[in-house]
Amino acid sequence: AELRKASKRLSCHKRYKIQKKIREHHRKVRKEAKKRKQKKPKKDPGIPSAAPFKEELLREAEQRKQRLEELKQKQKLNRQKEHEKKRKLEAKKNAASIKEKAEEKESSGKSKGKTKKPLNKNSKQSFCRELMKVLEASDVVLEVLDARDPMGCRCPQLEQAVTCSGGNKKLLLVLNKIDLVPKDNIEKWLKYLKKEFPTVAFKSATMMKDKTMEQVTKRRARVDFSETSQYFGSKCLLKLLQEYGKTQDKAIQVGVVGFPNVGKSSIINSLKGKRACNVGLARGVTKSMQIVHLDKQTKMLDSPSIIADPSNSALALALRSIINPEGPDSADVLEGVYAIINHCSKQQVMMHYNIPDFRDPEEFLSLLAQKRGMLKKGGVPDIENMAKLVLCDWTGARIKYYSQPPGFQKLPPYLTEQKVAEMQEGFNLNNLEQENSNTVQALKHPSPASSIAFQSAGMTNGTIEENKVIEEGSEWGHMETSKEEEDELTESDDNEDDMEEDDDVQLTGKAKPGKQQTNPTHSTGQKAGNERSRSLSFSLDKPVDEDDAYDFNTDYV
């Protein structure tokens, strides 16, 4: 027989006793509260419905509340800026002391003999060392430019190092991501850039099929590769390199260089026709030189990104993916986003994000955060996280913006008419121009109305020499590591069957430097690049009146 549960019924005597104890306890609590004179806070009765000027009173109350919130936000930003200034000053002092100690060690170690320490893969010095390996080993250097801001993606120090190397090195410009820019703007840039270096219009594939991806798609839902795996301009670039290789009567090595997120590895994958190099939105995916064989006569060398000089403007540092959105330094992210918004057409920004008129970039972020529901406790817009999202959109391929080429073309100090002729020698420029026009015609371009007009800050100064890099521990420590370890040089096999079984890129022991070596020097004439570019002062509308500031769609109970 099953056991019955115990009954919860009580005797009347016990129940009355409990109730009496509860009454006594409540009486005691009331007496103590009366002694301490603690009264319940009275609720705000609000404004009666029949009261005159009710809407005006509510409007004034709402405006007072907004002013208090804005004041709090400004005070918080000021505190953050002061904290960041102190941190930067301390970092500079530490860097100076580290540099002095390093110089002392070098001077003392000259007599004893030096032994090179292995560098961290994520360090800036390691990136510069690998970049110099690529420049020394290359017969042709491809400088990859983002078609949305070609002038901002050019590095004068890199171009000077290649043109003044004294060898027979050639420099080609590859205008990538042309599908994000209006057609007439692309034609203007091709016309402008070809007067300095041979320029190739290109649209690389952002996602390439490989063995692992095909296995995943068999088990799960299908992935649409129609747009992401399409690439244009690869035949033109391959033909150009092969024709130049025939004139040299030897196998040529082609180095691919550029700033982060311009599509260096994607271009190599597009030329190869399959995924040979790891790609990703995060900076620092490629950490060392990788060798990929296109054919018996052409060898591609992938390189790490160029390190931008900290003396560049906030706009250049933001768009060249130097400011890390995932890092703890929110003041730098806000400064970069403010610079981007100040350099754009205000009306087109409002149309793209579908937000009302704003007075300054801070109000732009506040309106966008309210629209997307990014709010803190109490309904305050989360400006910091919103700025990180906006910066990620602009450094990736989500935003379609374009910049106009300079009205007056002046050659840089390191370029002369003779150097331009040397760079163009060995290439069929007429055929290149025809192929570029065919590539531009074949693509579907956005209209100028759906894109954002943007004013470029000019060329971005970079650091390519290892001894001129000052390491900052917190800046490059959060980079994502690639799936494959790239400790040494990587090289892909020529045999297609072996490549399907093994990885596309294999590690090799040593680099294969060319016969010539470069001795690049920094450009002394680029004063404008070293100075911080002044942000574009476009006239924002006057602040809205108090009547316009009130939102009549808000319901008050």
Give the per-residue SS3 of 194-207: CCCCCEEECECCCC
> Is the four-CA dihedral 282, 208, 427, 288 of positive or negative sign?
positive
Tokens (6 digits) for 244: 């130049």
Q: Any idea where the domains of the chain sit in the sequence?
A: 123-208+226-309+405-447, 314-395
| Superfamily in which the 123-208+226-309+405-447 domain is placed by CATH | P-loop containing nucleotide triphosphate hydrolases (3.40.50.300)
Beta bridge partners of 308: 462
Q: Which two tokens stand for residue 393?
A: 């959109």
Residue matched to tokens 């006239």: 539
Closest CA to 403 of 151, 145, 193: 151
- What predicted TM-score, i.e. pTM, was given to this entire model? 0.60
Nearest Cα neighbor of 441 from 265, 145, 184, 194 is 184
Q: Which helix (H) or strand (E) holds 111?
A: helix 54-112
Q: What CA–CA distance (Å, rounded) separates 466 from 462? A: 12
DSSP H helices in 249-295:
264-272
Under DSSP, is residue 334 helix (H, G, I), strand (E, B) or coil?
helix
DSSP conformation class of 381: B
pLDDT in tens, the chain (557 residues): 567 888 888 999 999 999 999 999 999 999 998 888 766 667 777 778 888 888 888 889 899 999 999 999 999 999 999 999 999 999 999 888 898 888 888 877 664 444 445 555 567 777 788 888 888 888 899 999 999 999 999 999 898 888 888 778 889 999 988 988 899 999 999 999 988 899 999 888 776 554 433 333 334 334 344 445 677 788 888 888 888 888 888 888 999 999 888 888 888 888 888 877 777 666 666 777 888 888 888 888 888 888 888 888 888 888 886 666 666 667 888 888 999 999 998 898 999 899 999 989 999 999 999 999 999 888 899 999 999 889 888 887 788 889 998 888 888 888 888 888 888 888 888 888 888 888 888 888 888 888 888 888 888 888 877 666 654 443 444 444 333 444 433 444 444 444 443 444 333 333 333 334 434 334 434 444 344 333 333 333 333 343 444 444 444 43
CATH number for the domain formed by residue range(s) 314-395: 1.10.1580
Separation between Cα atoms, residue 487 and residue 43, nearest integer Å? 67
CB 240 within 8 A of CB 200: yes
**Under 8 Å between Cβ of 312 and 466:** no
Contact 482, 278 (CB under 8 A): yes
d(CA 360, CA 486): 44
